[in-house]
Amino acid sequence: MPNVTLDNITDVVIGSLGQNGEITPRQREIMTSHITHLHGFARDVKLQHSEFLFACDYLARAGQLCSDKRQEFILLADIVGLEVLVDMLTNVVDGSESESTVLGPFYRDNPPVLPKGASTVQKHFDGEETVYFEGYIRDTDGRPVPGVTLDIWEDAPNGLYENHDPDQPDYNLRGRFETDENGHYAFRAIRPVPYPIPDDETAGELLRAMGHHPNRPGHMHFILSKDGYRPLISQIYDSSSKWLDNDSVFAVKDSLVGEFKPAGDELDTDLHVQFDFVLKPQMAEQLVPAE
């Protein structure tokens, strides 16, 4: 082992990779970059030992908060824009396909399977505005895609997702729909309202350390999936919502902003949103993650 100094410690650690056991090329690439940036960061800010101990305690506290209701590390990654960056690196947009954005921590699998046009509303709130969402799902060549599964979820007018609100029925404002033979989807829901991401504990500490508020603009979450297409995790943002230009998790994309227009007499809802998506065809082998 060479004598470590301020000048050589980064090279010594990188040089030790794989010394006592085989590692894959991807592991080597990730660990080399990780060590380079981590050491670079410590050098940059001249990290002091008391600050290092604070960071270790902070991460330990964040870990202790994780449960099936709260994934603190995803929240922390969201607050510094890391989840949206990783999403853009994973789902590169190089054609006409729709943009993706963050999944967030509130998705639940196996929502109620509902027929086209049905409502996800199981409990009503004073002042809610009902919305008819509809649109076409096409591939990048413009062909309609029938049989696409759409999982959708949103918060209630009190700003809470049902699994964080004991007063809402199980799976309220969640549903699973499918496009028809023309690639058309439709469902009834309510206007999503802005809400604060959890801002207590370590997430709150990070928000305050950055001088940020916790709020997200009103949005409807979507996961679109069908074999042979790249799954699309995305959101539709309400163009008139507060916080649209100042999202606490940096997840708003211009192409995902939709208009909540007054519904015509032919509809039984207050508002009408028309929003189309484009799915990217995907070969089976592209689904296998890189080593």
Identify which of residues 78 and 151 has a Cβ nearer to ligand BEZ in the complex. 78
Segment lying near Fe ion (by CB under 5 A), choices 23-31, 99-107, 132-140, 168-176: 99-107
Closest distance of CB 216 from ligand BEZ, Å: 6
Binding pattern for the stretch 171-200 against ligand BEZ, x by CB under 6 A and - elsewhere: --------------------------x---
Interface pick for ligand BEZ out of 249, 252, 257, 279 (rule CB under 6 A): 249
Nearest-10 crossing angle of helices 72-79, 49-65: 130
Identify which of residues 83 and 134 has a Cβ nearer to ligand BEZ in the complex. 83
Residue 110 structure tokens:
């196996």
Segment lying near ligand BEZ (by CB under 6 A), choices 92-100, 104-112, 185-193, 204-212: 104-112
Tell which residue, 213, 209, 108, 110, has the closest CA to residue 161: 108
Closest distance of CB 144 from Fe ion, Å: 28
Closest distance of CB 196 from ligand BEZ, Å: 9
Identify which of residues 10 and 248 has a Cβ nearer to ligand BEZ in the complex. 248
Q: By CB under 5 A, how many residues form the interface with Fe ion?
A: 1
Q: Is 153 helix (H, G, I), strand (E, B) or coil?
A: strand
What gap in Å lies between CA 178 and CA 113, rounded to an integer?
9
What gap in Å lies between CA 124 and CA 115, rounded to an integer?
20
* Of residues 195-234, those binding ligand BEZ (CB under 6 A): 197, 216
Interface pick for ligand BEZ out of 35, 62, 76, 78 (rule CB under 6 A): 78
* Residue 112 DSSP one-character state: P
Identify which of residues 144 and 196 has a Cβ nearer to ligand BEZ in the complex. 196
CB 38 within 8 A of CB 44: no
What gap in Å lies between CA 28 and CA 291, rounded to an integer?
11
Identify which of residues 134 and 155 has a Cβ nearer to ligand BEZ in the complex. 155
CB 217 within 8 A of CB 260: no
Binding pattern for the stretch 106-135 against ligand BEZ, x by CB under 6 A and - elsewhere: x-----------------------------
Report what 197 binds from Fe ion, ligand BEZ, none; CB cut-off 5-8 Å by kind. Answer: ligand BEZ
Closest distance of CB 104 from ligand BEZ, Å: 3
Residue 96 structure tokens:
């006409």
Closest distance of CB 212 from ligand BEZ, Å: 12
DSSP 13-55: HHHTTTTTS---HHHHHHHHHHHHHHHHHHHHTT--HHHHHHH
Q: Is 56 helix (H, G, I), strand (E, B) or coil?
A: helix
CB 194 within 8 A of CB 155: no
What gap in Å lies between CA 61 and CA 201, rounded to an integer?
8
Residues within the interface to ligand BEZ (CB under 6 A): 75, 78, 102, 104-106, 197, 216, 249
Residues within the interface to Fe ion (CB under 5 A): 104
